[in-house]
A = this chain, B = another copy of it.
Amino acid sequence: MSAEKNLTSVRRARDTGEGKDKAAARDELRTAILSGEYMPGERLVEAQLIERFGVSRFNIRLALQDLSGEGLVEIQRNRGAQVRKISLAETIEITQVRMVLEGLVAAQAAERVTDAQASELDEIGLLMRRAVESGEFRRYSDLNQRLHGLIRTIAGHATADRLIGTLRAQLARHQFMLSLLPGRPQTSLPQHERIITAIRERDPARAETAMREHIASVIEVLRSLEETGGHP
């Protein structure tokens, strides 16, 4: 059962120059955490992870170390690792950082977008509108991710891209909840359309403003949760 997995992981190890099993363990464990399989605060006992992933303890520890660097896991000396808890206050901070970073990326996307990419943006916008009109919220959420991802691709800003990726991962659980709040799609759809329009018209300043307003409205929601006592 582990033969094929070993082969692929070895293959990738050759290509990327990473520890053969460490990378596999890290990726699988990250996926497990993001999918909610391990809850925040839950202890990650090395022996259990060894059994689950079939990887040596050495590589498990390296993987945990990596995820600690990504902010998904917290390691306490002699006390092991646990899934990091992220408070609502910290969620707001992270989203604020995402706001300015994605704003930067949107501006650069507006400077670099090609005609082909512009029509791709338009298409996503169209699909989003349809999804909202027909109440397909899950599909809308997927399109949302695809839109932000495409904008990041267009911008080609590796540094911002990497940071946004790790920040988004830390909020994976919260974002999921947010997109399901009542009225959210009706609020965010026009925001998304403004972002698309600004990038398509190659207007960096307006693209940045539109992106920031969009994420600022997410922060507003988070702040309101803070007051009504909606705990993480």
A48: Cβ under 8 A from any B Cβ:
no
Cβ-defined partner of A69 (8 Å) among B17, B69, B159: B69
Q: Note all chain B residues with C-beta closer than 8 A to A69.
A: 66, 69
A118: Cβ under 8 A from any B Cβ:
no
**CB pair B101 A97 closer than 8 Å:** yes
A88: Cβ under 8 A from any B Cβ:
no
Q: Note all chain B residues with C-beta closer than 8 A to A19.
A: 77
**CB pair A96 B157 closer than 8 Å:** yes
A18: Cβ under 8 A from any B Cβ:
yes
Digit string of A5-26 for contact with B (CB within 8 Å is 1, else 0)? 0000000010011110000000
A127: Cβ under 8 A from any B Cβ:
no
Minimum CB–CB distance from A139 to chain B (whole Å) comes to: 31
A158: Cβ under 8 A from any B Cβ:
yes
Chain A, interface residues (CB within 8 Å), range = 20 to 34
Q: Note all chain B residues with C-beta closer than 8 A to A18.
A: 77
* Complex CA distance for A13 and B78, rounded to whole angstroms: 11
A199: Cβ under 8 A from any B Cβ:
no
* Complex CA distance for A66 and B163, rounded to whole angstroms: 16
A143: Cβ under 8 A from any B Cβ:
no
Q: Note all chain B residues with C-beta closer than 8 A to A79.
A: 17
Cβ-defined partner of A101 (8 Å) among B62, B77, B94, B100: B100
A49: Cβ under 8 A from any B Cβ:
no
A153: Cβ under 8 A from any B Cβ:
no
Minimum CB–CB distance from A153 to chain B (whole Å) comes to: 15
A104: Cβ under 8 A from any B Cβ:
yes
* Complex CA distance for A100 and B160, rounded to whole angstroms: 10
- Chain B residue with Cβ nearest A162: B71
Minimum CB–CB distance from A109 to chain B (whole Å) comes to: 13
List CB contacts (< 8 Å) of A144-177 with chain B: 157-160, 163
8 further A-B pairs in the complex, CB-CB below 8 A; given A97-B101, A97-B160, A163-B163: A13-B77, A90-B159, A93-B158, A93-B159, A97-B163, A99-B104, A100-B100, A101-B101
